Amino acid sequence: MGILEKISEIEKEIARTQKNKATEYHLGLLKAKLAKYRAQLLEPSKSAAAKGEGFDVMKSGDARVALIGFPSVGKSTFLSLMTSTASEAASYEFTTLTCIPGVIEYKGANIQLLDLPGIIEGAAQGKGRGRQVIAVARTADVVIMMLEATKGEVQRSLLEKELESVGIRLNKCKPNIYFKPKKGGGISFNSTVTLTQCSEKLVQLILHEYKIFNAEVLFREDCSPDEFIDVIVGNRVYMPCLYVYNKIDQISMEEVDRLARRPNSVVISCGMKLNLEYLLEKLWEYLALTCIFTKKRGQRPDFTDAIILRKGASVEHVCHRIHRTLASQFKYALVWGTSTKYSPQRVGLTHLMEHEDVIQIVKK
Ligand SMILES: Nc1nc2c(ncn2[C@@H]2O[C@H](COP(=O)(O)OP(=O)(O)OP(=O)(O)O)[C@@H](O)[C@H]2O)c(=O)[nH]1
Ligand SMILES: [K+]
Ligand SMILES: [Mg+2]
């Protein structure tokens, strides 16, 4: 039996197994098996690599946004509207066959926007250019899932399933579980909260399925078996995703209103240039970039020119942005803002910056 068949067998079995206390362990085990086979599927296909089919697009700018969607939902039209790059748009499916980068300039940041070929059901298993498209999506800071307003619901759930099956978790936080494989000592299991979905026995069963017999496990959150499996498997990507319903010129006002109220959703029309500014605002929010202002000694901060960094950037990152050699001449920095207890506070290179902090760097 091939991997795909095995996966489909297990999926069928999960579907026909009633969910209750008695089947809890059986289901947990099936899910662990399923995750294992999917991981095997994800291993890069040798033939694709040999043909050089990957979309190797250089990362550039302050952040990267990937456009994912079914064919002809308007991805290329959107790229051409928002950036100075033109990407061919047409009424037939699979107009775009490769990855086309453009740049959105917004609030002083350069946001790389990637137009990609349309993907369809089965993409994760290699249908069309699915695998390559998904591989690019994994490298993004935010995914825009573009949906056709008239078929939004169906497209959304199909694509969510595709991305889910390759370990991309949309708008979810990493499960708060401490997991550490050990050399010996068996499995030590603890939790700081009451667990309603997992038990020590189930955790052990799942670990055994992965041939893990010694480990430390601490649940700090009431996680599901699937979330626990995510933690063991490890290579999950937790990705912010904005659902963008395009072509709202083709649906009723009531329908537009309903879609706009869905969580993480924005409605637009590229054709009629509707709501694009709001989409940018939302995108900016989802990117959650950190803007840092610099200040010279005895002068006011320069609020006109922010240094834009990804979340979790340190003082060292700030130095590298200002000048290549600044970090090596660094003595200390003074920081004003939410990242410090006092304003200003003297900090070193490893200090983590927060949004809208002000920094003054003192050289040796
Ligand atoms: N009515 C309407 N049509 C639109 C809108 N936006 C794009 N289109 C049309 O939709 C068709 C497909 O647009 P594309 O930009 O090529 O779509 P795509 O998602 O890039 O398609 P592929 O590259 O084939 O995956 C074109 O005929 C566009 O003119 C819109 O807001 N309203
Ligand atoms: K098209
Ligand atoms: Mg296109």
Q: Indicate whether residue 73 lines ligand 1 (CB < 6 A).
A: yes
Q: Are 220 and 176 in contact (CB under 8 A)?
A: yes
Domain 290-363, CATH 3.10.20.30 — does that match? yes
Angle at 285 between CA 279 and CA 290, to 5 degrees: 140
Which residues have C-beta within 8 Å of that of residue 232, sequence separation ≥ 6? 179, 206, 207, 210, 212
Same fold, 58-172+237-287 and 290-363: no
Q: For residue 97, give the ligand 1 atom closest to its CA.
A: 23
> Ligand 2 centre and the CA of 100: distance in Å?
14
Angle between helices 276-287 and 75-82 (to 10 degrees): 90
> Ligand 2 centre and the CA of 96: distance in Å?
7
Q: Note down pLDDT in tens along the chain; length 364 residues.
A: 777 888 889 999 999 999 888 898 999 999 888 888 877 765 555 554 444 345 778 888 899 999 999 999 999 999 999 999 999 999 888 888 889 999 999 988 999 999 999 998 887 777 778 888 998 999 999 999 999 999 989 999 999 999 998 889 999 999 999 999 999 999 999 999 999 999 999 999 999 999 999 999 999 999 999 999 999 998 899 999 999 999 999 999 999 999 999 999 999 999 999 999 999 999 999 999 999 999 999 999 999 889 999 888 999 999 999 999 999 999 999 999 999 999 999 999 999 999 999 999 999 9
Which residues have C-beta within 8 Å of that of residue 261, sequence separation ≥ 6? none
In three-state secondary structure terms, 273 is: coil
Q: Indicate whether residue 28 lines ligand 1 (CB < 6 A).
A: no
Q: Indicate whether residue 88 lines ligand 1 (CB < 6 A).
A: no
Q: In the CATH hierarchy, which fold is given to the domain comprising 58-172+237-287?
A: Rossmann fold (3.40.50)
> Ligand 1 centre and the CA of 75: distance in Å?
7
Q: Is 217 exposed, middle or buried (0-12, 13-18, 19+ CB in 10 A)?
A: buried
Provide the residue ranges of all domains of the chain, joining segments of one domain with +.
3-43+175-233, 58-172+237-287, 290-363
Instruction: Identify the residue whose tokens are 């990957």.
Output: 54
Q: For residue 94, give the ligand 1 atom closest to its CA.
A: 24
Q: Indicate whether residue 339 lines ligand 1 (CB < 6 A).
A: no
Q: Indicate whether residue 246 lines ligand 1 (CB < 6 A).
A: yes
Ligand nearest to the CA of 118: 1
Going by DSSP bridges, is the β-strand pair 63-69/109-115 parallel, antiparallel, or unpaired? Answer: parallel
> Ligand 1 centre and the CA of 139: distance in Å?
25
Q: Indicate whether residue 95 lines ligand 1 (CB < 6 A).
A: yes
Tokens standing for residue 326? 């600044």
Q: Indicate whether residue 105 lines ligand 1 (CB < 6 A).
A: no
Cα–Cα distance, 179 to 63 (Å, whole number): 30
